[in-house]
Amino acid sequence: MADQRLARPARPLEDSTVVLVAVAGLAIVLLLSMVAGVALGQATVSLGDSLRYVGAALIGGTIPADDVTGYSIVWVVRTPRVLLAAMVGAGLSVVGVVVQAMVRNALADPFILGVSSGASVGASAVVGFGLFAALGIYALSAAAFLGALAASGLVYVAARTRFGVSPLRLVLTGVALAYGFQAVMSVIVFFAPQGEAARTVLFWLLGSLGAATWGSLPLAAGAVVLAIVVVLRRAGALDVMAHGDETSATLGLDVAALRRFLFLLTAVVTGALVAVSGAVGFIGLVVPHLVRLVVGPSHGKVLVIAPWVGAIFLVWVDLVARTLVPPRELPLGVITALVGVPVFVALMRRRGYLFGGR
């Protein structure tokens, strides 16, 4: 009898309790990570002063005139940057889970459908020729977002046939057109009158939160919340979709309609995130695999845990990027690649590891 009790499968209530405990633990780790991100940096501001400045900003308190510089560093510069890092990390992780399920490809990430390449065309046009100059500091973000949406639409139209859009055609079309968008970007940079255009575009392509402001947070936060809420409601459909289109159809799932919806959602969310941070690689690729390895293939669990893991990861990546080689700041993509490549190779070499499970 004891052996039977030990061998019984976990009940839904038990699973929910485990997930809630995991989320609580990850929330604490994220909070501590954000505190470290706000307190640490090239300019020395003590932890106590950092917390005091944040508290004063939240409750409308006052600070001495001598502390204005420290207050500006902590509240105006670091706090929105750390919050944006958490938002972008969470959003890319969620979108990575959705894209891998949508195209049933273990190597898929949020940028495989040409979104980042399209955004780079818009960004390079701003940097090289001053496009959307009337928008001021928001010109690059607006152009990148519009470029990402235009690229996604072009990929979808090119991949669509009268029979619908198959995962393989979607991936191949996205990869092929991404090369075309990169060529267009290269031409724009080559003919740009500004000599620093190539350097600026390259830095943006590898990802950076150096331009983070309080004004850039609503766009990222709205996109991430929208993605999490919407995909969690369709976690069961994603589980079904992972088994293939024919199996999904026999179970009553309209695969074509769901794939169209997910494609539009991922394009909008990824475009919004790329617009404020550039193309930060490997988060949407590696984090979903790490989470699946721990919690299993159920999208209901993965979509709850992955945003927290991605947020924690990018907060620390950003901290390392701005403190490793002062006074210079490294692109985020450099750090994520240095971490992501060995982790992904180790995952793929793990005995018995398969996409979606152990």
| pLDDT digits 0-9 by tens, 150-188 | 998 999 899 888 777 888 888 889 889 988 988 988 888
| Segment 178-193, tens digit of pLDDT | 889 889 888 888 887 7
Is residue 271 one of the residues assigned to a domain?
Answer: yes
**Burial (Cβ within 10 Å: 0-12, 13-18, ≥19) of residue 16:** middle
Look at residue 246 in the predicted model and tell me its pLDDT: 83
Is residue 357 one of the residues assigned to a domain?
Answer: no
Is residue 246 one of the residues assigned to a domain?
Answer: yes
Is residue 356 one of the residues assigned to a domain?
Answer: no
| Segment 14-61, tens digit of pLDDT | 577 888 999 999 999 999 999 999 999 888 788 898 999 999 888 887
Q: Judge whether residue 340 has pLDDT over 90.
A: no
* More confident call, 260 vs 349: 260
- Which range among 66-75, 76-85, 307-316, 341-350 shows the weakest confidence by mean pLDDT? 341-350
At residue 141 the predicted structure's pLDDT band, cuts being 50, 70 and 90, is confident
Q: What is the CATH number of the domain that holds 218?
A: 1.10.3470.10
Backbone angles phi, psi at 282, to 5 degrees: 75, -20
Q: Judge whether residue 294 has pLDDT over 60.
A: yes
Most confident of the ranges 48-52, 75-79, 209-213, 237-241: 75-79
| Segment 272-283, tens digit of pLDDT | 998 889 889 889
Percent of the chain with pLDDT over 70: 92
Q: Judge whether residue 113 has pLDDT over 50.
A: yes
Look at residue 192 in the predicted model and tell me its pLDDT: 74
- Which range among 5-14, 254-263, 345-354 shows the weakest confidence by mean pLDDT? 5-14
| Segment 254-273, tens digit of pLDDT | 888 898 899 999 989 999 99
Look at residue 195 in the predicted model and tell me its pLDDT: 64
Is residue 333 one of the residues assigned to a domain?
Answer: yes
Q: Please answer whether residues 278 and 297 qualify as being in contact, where contact means their C-beta atoms are separated by less than 8 angstroms.
A: no
- Which structural domain range is residue 50 located in? 15-349
Query: In degrees, to the nearest 5, what angle opens at C-alpha 302 toward C-alphas 298 and 303?
Result: 115
Q: Judge whether residue 13 has pLDDT over 70.
A: no
Alpha-carbon distance of 98 to 47, in angstroms, equals 38
Domain count along the chain:
1
Report the helix count and the strand count for the chain, using DSSP H and E.
16, 0
Is residue 1 one of the residues assigned to a domain?
Answer: no
Look at residue 110 in the predicted model and tell me its pLDDT: 83
pTM reported for the whole predicted model: 0.89
In this structure, which long-range contacts are made by residues 28-34, counting pairs with CB atoms below 8 Å and at least 24 apart in sequence? 29/308, 29/312, 30/86, 30/308, 30/311, 30/312, 30/315, 33/312, 33/315, 33/316, 34/82, 34/83, 34/86, 34/315
Is residue 3 one of the residues assigned to a domain?
Answer: no
Is residue 4 one of the residues assigned to a domain?
Answer: no
Max Cα separation, the chain? 79
* More confident call, 5 vs 144: 144
Helix 115-129 / helix 139-159 crossing angle, nearest 10 deg: 140
